[in-house]
Structure 1
Amino acid sequence: MLLTFAIAALALGLVKAEAWGWSSGRVLGSLAAAVILAAVFWLRSARHPVPIVELPLLRIPAFASATLAALLFTVAFAAMLLTSVLWCQQVWGYSAIRTGLAIAPGPLVVPVLAVASGPVVRRLGAGRTAAAGCLLFAGGLAWWALALDTAPHYAAAFLPGMLVTGVGVGFALPTLVGAAAAALPPGRFATGSAVTTMARQTGAVLGVAVMVALIGEPRTAEAALTAFRHGWLTAAAAGALAVAAALALPRPAPTAAAPAKAPA
C-alpha cells in the first residue's frame, strides 16, 4: 500500500506540474511525499518478517539486473504507446479507428520476434539479446524524433519507427521477464515474478506520467512537434539505460566440449 501511494504521489506531481507549476507547493509536496513513502516502504520491507517485497531477492545479480532493465524498458514502452496514439489523433487528426490501424504493425511483429528470440538467447545469452532489443526500441523512438513532422507521412516516417520498436519489444521484453524468472530459487518463483511484474507496472506509470509532463497541452502544431520530440528522446534515453542494465546480466557459462571417444 505504501508503495502504491508513493507511485501515485509521484505520478500526481509529474502530471500536474504544468498546471500547478514545478515550484508550487503542491508539486513539491507530491514529490516529497513520494520519496518519503518509498523510503518508509523500503525500511518496512527490510524489517518485516514477511514483507511483500523480499529485498534479499534483489541481491541476486541476474534477477536485479533483469528487473531493473524491465522497469526502464517499460518506461520507454508506455511512453511509446501513449505518444503514438496522441500524435496520430491530435497532430495528424486521425480517427480512433485509423489510429488503431496505424499502430497495429508494431504489435503484430512482437509475437513473431518473441518466438524467434529463443535461438538468439541460446546463442548470445539473455543479456545481449535483451540489450539488442532495448537498443532497437530506443532507435525507433529516436527515428520518430528525427523523421516525423506535422505533415502526415505515415509510410515514410511513422511506420519504420513503429516496426523497429515492435522488433525491439519482441527481443527485449520476453527475454528480460524470462531471465528474471530463471535467476530465482524455485521456492521464490511466485514472489520474484510478482516483483518483476510490479517493476513493469511502476515503469508504465512513470512512462505515462513523464510523457504527460513533457507534452502538456501545446497550443500550436510547432509547439506540439517540439514537445513530442522531447518526449521521444526522453523515452529513447530510458531505453538506452535499459540497454546498460541488460548488459549487466551474467553471460552464460561456455558449454564444455564432449570428450572424444577413444578408438576401439
Structure 2
Amino acid sequence: MVDTLAESERPTDPTLAGLSARSRAWTLLIACLGVLLVISSMVALNTALPDLAVATSATQAQLTWIVDCYTLVLACLLLPAGALGDRYGRRGALLFGLVVFAVASVAPVFWSEPLQLIIGRAAAGVGAAFVMPATLSLLTTAYPKDQRNKAVGIWAGAAGSGAVVGMLGSGGLLHFFEWQSIFWAFAAAGALLFLLTLTISTSKESVPRPLDWIGAVLIGGGLAILVFGILEIPTLGWSDGLVIGSMVAGVGLCVAFGIFELRQRHPLLDVRLFSNPTFATGAAAITVFFLANFGFFYIVMQYMQLILGYSPIKTAFAVAPLIGPVLVLSTTAFWFLPLLGLRLVVFSGLGLISIGFLMMGGIAVADGYSAIAWPMLVMSFGIGLLTAPMTSAIINTAPDDKQGVASAVNDTTREVGAALGIALAGSLLAAQYTDLLAPRLPEQLPEPVRQAALGSLGQALEVSAKLGPQGAQIAELSKAAFVEAMNSSTFGLAVIVGVSAVLIGLWAPGRDERQLRPLRTLRSTGRHRA
C-alpha cells in the first residue's frame, strides 16, 4: 500500500535470510520488551515525584529535570545511535544500550542527591537512545517485506502501551515499597533483557560506509537545544529569552544539518526522504499524535489526582482502558491500512483525537470519572488508528541498510512531539489558571498565600488545608479555575490536532498513491482520467 523504494535498493542482511518463524517471533518479543522498557521509563517517575521531593529535598525545578533530562538526552542521541547500530551491528547497539541503562538505573539507589539523580537519569537516556532504534531496526530487517507491517504493528502496540504500563508498574511498586524500588526494577529489567538479547541474531549495513560525525553533532546538538527550550516553556513561558533563543538556535542547527546532509556522499540521514509523501506523512502525524497523547496525559493525570482525589495507582488503572483500542488497532493495521489508505487513516485518527479533546471541553468540578472516560475512549481509537500505520510509513520508505536511522527518525518525532505536547498543555493550563483565579481570590488574603494559590492547584490545595474555614473557599475557587483552564487547554489542543488532520491529510497519499495537495494536481489528474 505505502510507497517503497525499489527492491534492488533494499539489500537484505545474509545473516537474517534463513531465520525461522520461531526465531523471528523471538526477535519480535525482545524488540517489544525493549521499547516497552524505554517508554515506561519516560513516565514511571511521575508517580514518585512527591516521595522524591520529601526524601531528597529537591526543588520543583530539580524534580522537573529528574524527569525531563531522560527525554532530552534520548531525543538528541537517537539518530547518531541508530546510525552506529546500522554500521557496527544492531544487536551490539541494543546490548550496549541495555548495559548503560541498567547501570544508570541502579546508580540513584546509592547516590540520591537531586543532582546525582539528574545525572543518573541522563545516563539512562544515553542507554535508551541505543535501545529504542535498535529494537525496531532488528525487527524490520528480520521480517520479509510481506510480513513486516504485521510485526511493526505489534511493536507499535507495545510502544503505545508503554506509558500506561509504566504508570501501572511504578504505582504498584510505590504501593508496597519505597521510591528506590522503581530504579531497582528498571535495572533488573535491563539486565534480564540483556541476557535474552544474546539469543537473537544481529544485522547491519551490507556495505559498510563511513559515519557522518559532523552530521551527528549538528543534529544531536540541534535537537538537544530545541527540546531544552520546549521543556522550559511551562516554567518560563513562551516569551522568555532563554526559550526563544534555544528554539531559534535548535531550529537553526537542524536546518544546517539538512543543508550539510544534502552535500554528503554518505549522509547520516538522507533528508530527501522527507520529499516522499509517505515518509513525510508518517513523521508529521507521529509528531502531532504524540503531542496530543502527552498533552492529554499531562492534563488528565492532574485532573484525576487533584480534582477526583485519585492515588497514583488508581490513576494508572483509570487510564489503563487506553491500552485496549491501541493494541487491537495496532495489531490489525496490516489489514485495514490497505483498505483505507494512508490519507483516510490520518484524517480519521487525528480527527478522533480532536473530537476527544472537544468532548472534554464541558467538564465541571462536580463531574466524576465518566466525564473523562468517554473522551479518553474516543481518543484511544484515534491513537490506535495512527500508531502502527505511521511507523510503517516511515520504515517502509527507507532501505534496509538504513533501518536504524529510519527507526531513529520514528523515535525522534515521538520525543519531540511528546515534549511539545507537555509544553503546550502546561503553558496553556498555567496561564489560564492564573488569569482565572487571580480576580476571584479574596482581597484580604495574605500575599504569600495568594502567590502559592496562583502558582498551581497542588500548591493551592496544600495551603488551603492549613487555613481553616477560609481554606475551603480557596480550594473550591482553585478547583473551579483549574477545570475551566483545563477546558480551554483541551479546546486549544483540539484546534491544533484538527487543523493538523486537514493539512497532513492533504499531503498524504490515498489508496491510489496520489495526493490531494495542489489544486492543479487534482485538475490534471481529473483530465488524465477523463
Match of 1:58, as an amino acid?
A: F
Query: 1:211-261 CA distances to partner (integer Å, 9 max, x unpaired)?
Result: 22122235511221122123212322332244231452212339xxxxxxx
Match of 1:158 in 2: 372
Identity %, equivalent residues: 25
- The answer as to 2:311 corresponding to 1:53 is no
CA shift for structure 1 position 16: 2.3
- The answer as to 2:466 corresponding to 1:250 is no
- The answer as to 2:457 corresponding to 1:238 is no
Does 107-116 or 207-216 show the bigger shift? Answer: 107-116
CA shift for structure 1 position 128: 0.8
CA shift for structure 1 position 117: 3.8
Match of 1:7 in 2: 226
Query: What is the CA–CA distance in structure 2 between the aligned matches of 1:193 and 1:162, rounded to whole Å?
Result: 28
Q: Map of 1:196-215 to 2, 5 A cutoff? A: 196-215=410-429
- The answer as to 2:368 corresponding to 1:149 is no
Partner SS, residue 251 of structure 1: coil
Does 108-117 or 78-87 show the bigger shift? Answer: 108-117
Query: What is the CA–CA distance in structure 1 between the aligned matches of 2:307 and 2:266, rounded to whole Å?
Result: 50
Match of 1:190 in 2: 404
CA contact (8 A) 1:136 1:164 kept: yes
Query: 1:115-148 CA distances to partner (integer Å, 9 max, x unpaired)?
Result: 34443222111221232121111111111123x2
TM-score w.r.t. structure 2 length?
Answer: 0.44
Match of 2:323 in 1: 107
Match of 1:225 in 2: 483
Change in 2 beyond 3 A, CA 1:45/1:60: same
Match of 1:94 in 2: 310
Match of 1:209, as an amino acid?
A: A
Match of 2:292 in 1: 76
2:235 aligned residue (1, 6, 16): 16
Query: What is the CA–CA distance in structure 2 between the aligned matches of 1:111 and 1:35, rounded to whole Å?
Result: 34
Match of 2:426, as an amino acid?
A: V
Larger Rg: 2
Query: What is the CA–CA distance in structure 2 between the aligned matches of 1:150 and 1:47, rounded to whole Å?
Result: 57
Query: What is the CA–CA distance in structure 2 between the aligned matches of 1:124 and 1:190, rounded to whole Å?
Result: 28
CA contact (8 A) 1:57 1:192 kept: no
CA contact (8 A) 1:66 1:246 kept: no
Match of 1:258 in 2: none
Query: What is the CA–CA distance in structure 1 between the aligned matches of 2:239 and 2:497, rounded to whole Å?
Result: 28
- The answer as to 2:389 corresponding to 1:167 is no
Query: 1:22-60 CA distances to partner (integer Å, 9 max, x unpaired)?
Result: 544444434443344434444444445544332111121
TM-score w.r.t. structure 1 length?
Answer: 0.83
Query: What is the CA–CA distance in structure 2 between the aligned matches of 1:36 and 1:13, rounded to whole Å?
Result: 18
Change in 2 beyond 3 A, CA 1:239/1:59: same
Any stretches of 5+ residues in structure 2 without a counterpart?
1-219, 431-455, 461-477, 514-530
2:394 aligned residue (180, 192, 213): 180
Query: What is the CA–CA distance in structure 2 between the aligned matches of 1:184 and 1:25, rounded to whole Å?
Result: 38
Query: What is the CA–CA distance in structure 2 between the aligned matches of 1:136 and 1:129, rounded to whole Å?
Result: 10
Match of 1:135 in 2: 351
Which of the pair has the greater relative contact order for Cα pairs under 8 Å at 6+ separation? 1
Q: Map of 1:34-45 to 2, 5 A cutoff? A: 34-45=250-261
CA contact (8 A) 1:2 1:41 kept: no
| Aligned residue pair count | 249
Q: What root-mean-square deviation, in Å, do the aligned CA atoms of Structure 1 and Structure 2 show?
A: 2.4
Change in 2 beyond 3 A, CA 1:158/1:196: same
Match of 2:128 in 1: none
CA shift for structure 1 position 11: 1.6
Change in 2 beyond 3 A, CA 1:185/1:53: closer
2:301 aligned residue (68, 76, 85): 85
Query: What is the CA–CA distance in structure 1 between the aligned matches of 2:496 and 2:426, rounded to whole Å?
Result: 16
Query: What is the CA–CA distance in structure 1 between the aligned matches of 2:400 and 2:223, rounded to whole Å?
Result: 27
Partner SS, residue 103 of structure 1: helix
Partner SS, residue 16 of structure 1: helix
Partner SS, residue 509 of structure 2: coil
Query: What is the CA–CA distance in structure 1 between the aligned matches of 2:285 and 2:252, rounded to whole Å?
Result: 24
Match of 2:358, as an amino acid?
A: A
Change in 2 beyond 3 A, CA 1:39/1:158: same
CA contact (8 A) 2:357 2:493 kept: yes
CA shift for structure 1 position 151: 1.5
Any stretches of 5+ residues in structure 1 without a counterpart?
255-264
Partner SS, residue 364 of structure 2: coil
Does 23-32 or 163-172 show the bigger shift? Answer: 23-32
Query: What is the CA–CA distance in structure 1 between the aligned matches of 2:339 and 2:253, rounded to whole Å?
Result: 43
Query: What is the CA–CA distance in structure 1 between the aligned matches of 2:249 and 2:228, rounded to whole Å?
Result: 6
Match of 1:183, as an amino acid?
A: T
